[in-house]
């Protein structure tokens, strides 16, 4: 990870104490943790409800996941342009309220027996759309709250909280669907979004939203500026391509995986949630390693090796047979390793992106990379459902897991592989004739 000297900060205090003494950072951390817990619970609750309660087939499950991921493709670029001109605190609290209301309505509909597949599709799209706003906003918010020489530590803390959410969210969602009901599981997610709202709304620091001059450009012009900036930087462009390859095949893998576990391995909903939650402890370890390994071995070496190991371990899943006493421990180990190496890659890539991006481009750069990197996930989910119907889950899982290895291959052939122990300072933000940002 980049050292203090690599970012040019004048802070002489150790990063960790100053971060945790900052009440606003603690509130962001707590709110993001609650939000991620609700989001990861939803990722299990909605598909399991479709499979176990509505008896959804592979194609229907693929469509449900695709609808939930479609907002990334449809909205990311617009959201990035808006977030750079708005206070991120406002964006985050509004999206938390929206997700809590949507899932609360879904819980009521489920209790009344009216939560069918069409309604589930609407819920998945709404939650996915609001999550795009929240995810872009919290990444931009971090840069506005902490100094650049603290970004690595701050990212490690936030990603660590996301790891904790990955532990509790899927396990809680799977257990509630299995033991109680999908409506109660949806209500639990709504509660976490409400807790996130209560924490983030207490952030008191006035954000230094980048100032603009003269007339505001059209949103398309701001989007184009973000696209040109990312496309013009070889490292950020490589991040986009590697992320796109991974996210496309990972979406296909997870669609098949959510069918393979309950139907081929005959695991109950609670066991499925436990297996998926095992990525959380691994990701927590990955977050801790990300604060140390890149600055010791180099960002490029860590990115390529961790991506290859994390993606490659999924090739072991299709080989599993037998009773749950054998398969569940093996699946837990695979999920743990995938979470550890995957989180190491995630934190390192985020630090690369944030360090190489000027303040006025943070929202658009994050949205552009999300758009390119995750925009293909709906197609990946549809592909996973199609392959599972045509070839069966075991063969499809092997093929799609092998496809994830394209991501580390692209990184190994890119400038990312040559990144050293420190990262260069960001370039100046491109000039743009814009009006003062609204104080919303």
Burial of 34 by CB count in 10 Å (0-12 exposed, 13-18 middle, 19+ buried)?
Answer: buried
Return d(Cα 44, Cα 326) in angstroms, integer.
23
Residues of the chain above pLDDT 90, percent: 18
In which band, very low, low, confident or very high, does the pLDDT at 9 lie, cut at 50, 70 and 90?
Answer: very low
The string of DSSP letters for 22-54 reads: -HHHHHHHHHHHHHHHHHHHHHHHHHHIIIIIS
Return d(Cα 137, Cα 222) in angstroms, integer.
16
CA dist 145 → 59, 151, 197 (Å) = 43, 10, 18
**Residue 94 pLDDT > 90, yes or no?**
yes
DSSP class of 180: T
Q: Read off the pLDDT of residues 178-224 as tens digits, 9 standing for 90 and up.
A: 666 777 777 878 888 999 999 998 887 776 655 554 555 566 777 78
pLDDT higher at 148 or 418: 418
Q: Answer for the pair 416, 84: CB distance below 8 angstroms, yes or no.
A: no
Please give the pLDDT value at position 7.
Answer: 36
Question: Which residues have C-beta within 8 Å of that of residue 276, sequence separation ≥ 6?
Answer: 44, 170, 171, 174, 335
Mean local confidence (pLDDT), 343-372: 79
51-65, 321-335, 376-390: range with lowest mean pLDDT? 51-65
**CB environment 366-384: b (16+ within 10 A), e (fewer):** bbbbbbbbbbbbbbbbbbb
In which band, very low, low, confident or very high, does the pLDDT at 306 lie, cut at 50, 70 and 90?
Answer: very high
Tokens of 270: 């609670």
The counts of H helices and E strands in the chain are 19, 0
Q: Answer for the pair 76, 132: CB distance below 8 angstroms, yes or no.
A: yes
In which band, very low, low, confident or very high, does the pLDDT at 24 lie, cut at 50, 70 and 90?
Answer: confident
Please give the pLDDT value at position 211.
Answer: 54
Mean local confidence (pLDDT), 16-30: 70
Please give the pLDDT value at position 17.
Answer: 47
pLDDT higher at 200 or 322: 200
Please give the pLDDT value at position 435.
Answer: 42
Q: Read off the pLDDT of residues 151-177 as tens digits, 9 standing for 90 and up.
A: 667 766 776 676 666 556 666 676 667
Tokens of 359: 């303040």
Return d(Cα 348, Cα 325) in angstroms, integer.
36
Return d(Cα 51, Cα 24) in angstroms, integer.
41
**Residue 113 pLDDT > 60, yes or no?**
yes
Mean local confidence (pLDDT), 265-269: 80
Please give the pLDDT value at position 12.
Answer: 39
Tokens of 122: 């609407």
Closest CA to 201 of 437, 24, 22, 21: 24
In which band, very low, low, confident or very high, does the pLDDT at 437 lie, cut at 50, 70 and 90?
Answer: very low
Residues of the chain above pLDDT 70, percent: 80
Q: pTM for the complete prediction?
A: 0.67
Please give the pLDDT value at position 410.
Answer: 93
Mean pLDDT, rounded, of the chain: 78
Return d(Cα 71, Cα 399) in angstroms, integer.
26
pLDDT higher at 385 or 405: 405
């Amino acid at each position: 990870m980049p050292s203090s000297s690599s970012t040019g900060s004048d802070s002489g205090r150790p990063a960790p104490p100053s971060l945790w003494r900052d009440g606003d950072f603690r509130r962001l951390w707590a709110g993001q943790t609650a939000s991620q817990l609700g989001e990861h619970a939803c990722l299990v609750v909605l598909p399991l409800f479709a499979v176990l309660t509505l008896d959804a087939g592979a194609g229907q499950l693929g469509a449900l996941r695709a609808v939930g991921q479609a907002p990334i493709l449809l909205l990311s670029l617009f959201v990035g342009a808006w977030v750079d001109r708005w206070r991120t605190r406002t964006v985050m609290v509004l999206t938390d309220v929206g997700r809590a209301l949507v899932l609360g309505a879904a819980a009521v509909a489920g209790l009344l027996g009216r939560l069918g597949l069409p309604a589930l599709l609407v819920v998945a799209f709404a939650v996915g759309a609001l999550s795009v706003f929240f995810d872009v906003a919290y990444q931009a918010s971090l840069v506005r709250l902490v100094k650049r020489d603290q970004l690595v530590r701050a990212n490690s803390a936030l990603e660590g909280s996301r790891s904790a959410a990955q532990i509790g969210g899927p396990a809680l969602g799977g257990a509630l669907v299995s033991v109680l009901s999908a409506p109660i599981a949806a209500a639990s997610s709504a509660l976490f979004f409400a807790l996130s709202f209560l924490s983030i709304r207490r952030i008191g620091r006035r954000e230094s939203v980048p100032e603009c001059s003269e007339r505001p450009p059209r949103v398309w012009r701001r989007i184009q500026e973000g696209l040109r900036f990312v496309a013009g930087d070889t490292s950020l462009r490589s991040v986009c391509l590697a992320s796109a390859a991974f996210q496309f095949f990972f979406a296909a893998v997870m669609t098949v995986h959510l069918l393979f576990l309950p139907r081929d391995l005959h695991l109950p909903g609670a066991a499925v949630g436990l297996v998926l939650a095992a990525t959380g402890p691994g990701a927590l370890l990955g977050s801790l390693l990300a604060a140390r390994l890149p600055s010791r071995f180099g960002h490029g070496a860590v990115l390529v090796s961790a991506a290859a190991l994390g993606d490659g371990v999924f090739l072991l899943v299709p080989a599993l047979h037998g009773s749950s006493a054998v398969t569940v421990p093996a699946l837990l180990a695979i999920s743990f390793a995938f979470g550890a190496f995957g989180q190491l890659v995630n934190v390192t890539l985020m630090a690369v992106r944030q360090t190489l991006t000027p303040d006025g481009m943070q929202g658009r750069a994050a949205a552009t990379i999300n758009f390119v990197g995750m925009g293909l996930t709906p197609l990946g989910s549809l592909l996973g459902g199609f392959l599972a119907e045509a070839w069966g889950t075991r063969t499809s899982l092997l093929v799609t897991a092998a496809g994830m290895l394209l991501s580390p291959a692209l990184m190994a052939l890119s400038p990312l592989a040559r990144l050293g122990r420190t990262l260069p300072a960001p370039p100046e933000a491109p000039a743009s004739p814009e009006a003062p940002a609204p104080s919303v």
